[in-house]
Amino acid sequence: EVQLVQSGAEVKKPGESLKISCKGYGFSFTEYWIGWARQKPGKGLEWMGIIFPRDSDTRYSPSFQGQVIISADKSISTAYLQWSSLKASDTAMYYCARRPSGWNNGYFVNWFDPWGQGTLVTVSS
């Protein structure tokens, strides 16, 4: 079964660092881009960025560039999302997702499936 399994919930204080993980099962991890999205409590989805584990090519959404670091270790089929100094405003659920792609009517389209179960990050003093 193709799945992404994320690390468990975290409770941190402002200023602390954090690295959460997303491990892939049932597919070749180096063949797919892996992305991250944020969802603050009661709010919508926000796209953060994406990484290609084979060569660690990474693309950030402008809103998150410089705010987080996305990385991957292809040897253990795991992608990461990390913060060097957390803020209360980073409190949210974070999801990873795999990006398949294919040709449709002359366009090379892509989508995100499956999604990990989510990692809740709570930042509070």
Partner 1 sequence: DIQMTQSPSSLSVSVGDRLTITCRASQNINTYLNWYQQQSGKAPKLLIYAASILQSGVPSRFSGSGSGTEFTLTISSLQPEDFASYYCQESYTTSYTFGQGTVLEIK
What's the longest Cα–Cα distance across the chain?
52
Give the shortest CB-43-to-partner 1 separation in angstroms: 8
Q: Min. distance of Cβ 32 from partner 1 in angstroms?
A: 14
Task: Please identify, using beta-carbon distances, which residue of 2 and 16 lies nearer to partner 1.
Answer: 2
Q: Considering beta carbons, is residue 53 or 116 the nearer one to partner 1?
A: 116
Q: 107: how many CB neighbours lie within 10 A of its CB?
A: 8
The Cα-based distances of 110 to 1, 84, 99 in angstroms read 20, 31, 6
Q: Which residues contact 105 (CB under 8 A, 6 or more apart)?
A: none
Q: Could you tell me how far CA 35 lies from the centroid of its own chain? A: 5
Closer CB to partner 1, 74 or 99, in the complex: 99
How crowded is the C-beta side of 43, counted as CA atoms within 13 Å? 13
Distance of closest approach, residue 104 Cβ to partner 1, in angstroms: 4
As measured in angstroms, the least distance from the Cβ of 116 to partner 1 is: 7
- DSSP tag of 42: T
Q: Judged by CB, which is closer to partner 1: 50, or 86? A: 50
Residues lying near partner 1 in the complex (CB under 8 A) are found at 35, 37, 44-47, 50, 59, 61-62, 95, 97, 104-105, 107, 109-118
